[in-house]
């Protein structure tokens, strides 16, 4: 009888030479495009809004990358951005494994970027559409337009060029309006804190599941 073999699986394993997050991001990944664009953007007016002295803060260019990539990934809520920075490898790479809180992102977006973000975002998205990287669609279900609060424009990363851009800026400004709604929703969010992990209780519940499955297996075998 042949022995079943599996690849080694050890979640506590430490590599002698740790992987770089960059190794896990494809060269053609949209996040690299956003990273490159924001690296080249002139953000002098934003930088001038900072005063010298005080505690060191997150670099505005990093925060701008996170916000722009979030928008282009249809993530408008600062709380969801905070979660993505902890859970999504592309966001971790983009931020250099820094984890600003949603309140910090919201403060930067609503104060530091005030008067700048709409113009910058429209210019960046327009450029991406003209280059054929991005399209703007309305969500549909079974070919029927959703006539509800969930009927929103979404960004779609493209591989082919869409040459005709009908009312592009109107669509982008519509999305920016939705983003403002997201900011208001963030400030009103009163979600309960997640329940702390109770290892003992979980083990007991899993034991009950295993016992139940064993009993079911025996019944099927005897039937």
What single string gives the DSSP state of each residue in 116-134? THHHHHHHHHHHHHHTTSE
Half-sphere exposure of 87 (CA within 13 A, CB side): 6
- Say how far apart CA 128 and CA 74 lie, in whole Å: 15
Beta carbons within 8 Å of 40's beta carbon, 6+ residues apart: none
Q: What is the pLDDT of residue 94?
A: 94
Q: What is the pLDDT of residue 161?
A: 37
Degrees (nearest 5) of the Cα angle 73, 77, 79?
115
Q: What is the pLDDT of residue 147?
A: 40
CA distances from 110 to 11, 92, 106, 113, 158 (A): 40, 23, 6, 6, 30
Q: What is the pLDDT of residue 151?
A: 45
Q: What is the pLDDT of residue 125?
A: 82
Degrees (nearest 5) of the Cα angle 86, 75, 191?
70
Q: What is the pLDDT of residue 142?
A: 43
CA distances from 96 to 20, 92, 198 (A): 10, 6, 32
Dihedral of the alpha carbons of 114, 120, 125, 131, in degrees to the nearest 10 = -170
**Which stretches in the chain have pLDDT values below 70?**
1, 6, 9-11, 13-18, 53-54, 136-155, 157-168, 181-197, 220-221, 223
DSSP lists the bridge partners of residue 135 as 156
Contact 143, 155 (CB under 8 A): no
- Say how far apart CA 57 and CA 113 lie, in whole Å: 15
Q: What is the pLDDT of residue 19?
A: 75
How long, in residues, is the chain? 223
**pTM (whole model) above 0.75:** no
- Say how far apart CA 110 and CA 112 lie, in whole Å: 6
């Amino acid at each position: 009888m042949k022995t079943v073999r599996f690849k080694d699986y050890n979640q506590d394993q430490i590599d002698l030479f740790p992987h770089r997050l960059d190794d896990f991001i494809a060269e053609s990944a949209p996040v690299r495009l956003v990273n490159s664009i924001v690296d080249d953007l002139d953000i002098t007016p934003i930088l001038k809004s900072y005063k010298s002295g005080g505690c060191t803060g997150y670099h505005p260019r990093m925060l701008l990358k996170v916000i722009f990539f979030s928008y282009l990934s249809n993530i408008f809520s600062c709380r969801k951005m905070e979660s993505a920075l902890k859970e999504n490898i592309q966001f971790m790479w983009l931020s250099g494994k820094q984890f600003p809180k949603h309140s910090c992102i919201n403060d930067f977006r609503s104060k530091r970027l005030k008067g700048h973000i709409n113009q910058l975002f429209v210019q960046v998205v327009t450029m991406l559409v003209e280059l054929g990287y991005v399209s703007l669609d309305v969500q549909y279900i079974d070919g029927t337009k959703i006539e509800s609060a969930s009927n929103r424009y979404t960004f779609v990363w493209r591989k082919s060029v869409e040459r005709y851009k009908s009312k592009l800026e109107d669509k982008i400004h519509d999305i920016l309006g939705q983003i403002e709604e997201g900011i208001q929703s963030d400030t009103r969010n009163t979600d309960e804190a997640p329940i702390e992990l109770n290892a003992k209780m979980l083990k007991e519940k899993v034991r009950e599941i295993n016992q139940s499955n064993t009993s079911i297996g025996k019944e099927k075998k005897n039937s």
